[in-house]
Amino acid sequence: MEDVQVHAPQVALNIDRVGVRQLKLPLLVRDRSRGTQQTVASIDLGVDLPSAFKGTHMSRFVEALEQWNDELSYQSVKRLLQTIKDKLGARRAYAQLCFPYFITKRAPSSGSPARVSYDCRLTGELDDKGQSFILEIAVPVMTVCPCSKAISREGAHSQRTMVRMRMRMKTFSWLEDFIDIAEASGSSAVYTLLKREDEKHVTEHAFAHPAFVEDVVRNVAQRLLIHGQVEWFSVEVESMESIHNHNAFARIERYLEAN
């Protein structure tokens, strides 16, 4: 049958990226405590398209993904990207995998276990110069306002705060390492299941460790600077303010090779 995609387009312009989005696939991810865990990923795949071609072959992305079926790692993503490049005759291939990662956390006083989910995203690109590999994790924490605590006779306002980290690593690192960094940088970690004694503990711990978004972003950045396996990072902390009609944010980006 005729291959329409290989015809010349009416408008001869290179396309930076073309492909498919929101493919759903079971995904096996390394787990520090259990070895591996099964999750579900939403996957985007793409390639560049030269000006000489009308279209790309969308079905070949799905074929490449179905043939992959691998544990998530730097090397396995590189294999997927190389397969996409080969199947579509592209110079550059792109893959983005978004998935929830689960950790069973015990409440601080009662020890009651419950799973907490963390939104993760892994983006890989491969061309003749090599592979780019970016990991993103969003970690919720609790913050107590230092100013509110200092000026109030009773209590202080607190809120949920989101720590969003984007990192390029030298080698493999556990997702848990970065989740631990974020949770240690706020006033308190957050939990799925808390009994009354746990709520007391979390509240008292958080009020003993008040933190602005500026404090949290600096705490995270400081820990990433000494992590040892991170080449570049961008950290943004956003506080969903409880008494203000706006959110507060702070951001730090660093190239560690220059430091």
pLDDT by 10-residue block (mean), the chain, 259 residues: 55 83 95 94 93 76 89 90 92 96 96 97 93 94 95 92 94 91 97 97 96 98 93 96 94 81
* Helix-then-strand count for the chain, H and E: 6, 9
Check residue 8 and report its DSSP letter: P
Q: What is the pLDDT of residue 259?
A: 45
Those residues with Cβ within 8 angstroms of residue 38's Cβ, 6 or more apart along the chain or in another chain: 26, 27, 28, 29
Q: What is the pLDDT of residue 140?
A: 98
How far, CA to CA in Å, does 106 sit from each of 91, 113, 158, 171, 191? 48, 4, 22, 29, 8
Q: Where are the alpha helices (DSSP H) in 69-192?
A: 74-88, 146-151, 175-183
- Domain boundary assignment for the chain: 15-258
Q: What's 15-258's CATH class? A: alpha beta
Q: What is the pLDDT of residue 55?
A: 61
Return the biggest CA–CA distance within the chain. 79
Distance from the Cα of residue 133 to its chain's centroid: 12
Q: Between the CA atoms of 175, 181, 186 and 188, what dihedral angle is there, to the nearest 10 degrees? A: 70
Nearest CA to 144 out of 93, 98, 213 is that of: 213
Q: Within 13 Å and on the Cβ side, how many CA atoms surround 227?
A: 31
Q: What is the pLDDT of residue 3?
A: 54
Q: What is the pLDDT of residue 170?
A: 81
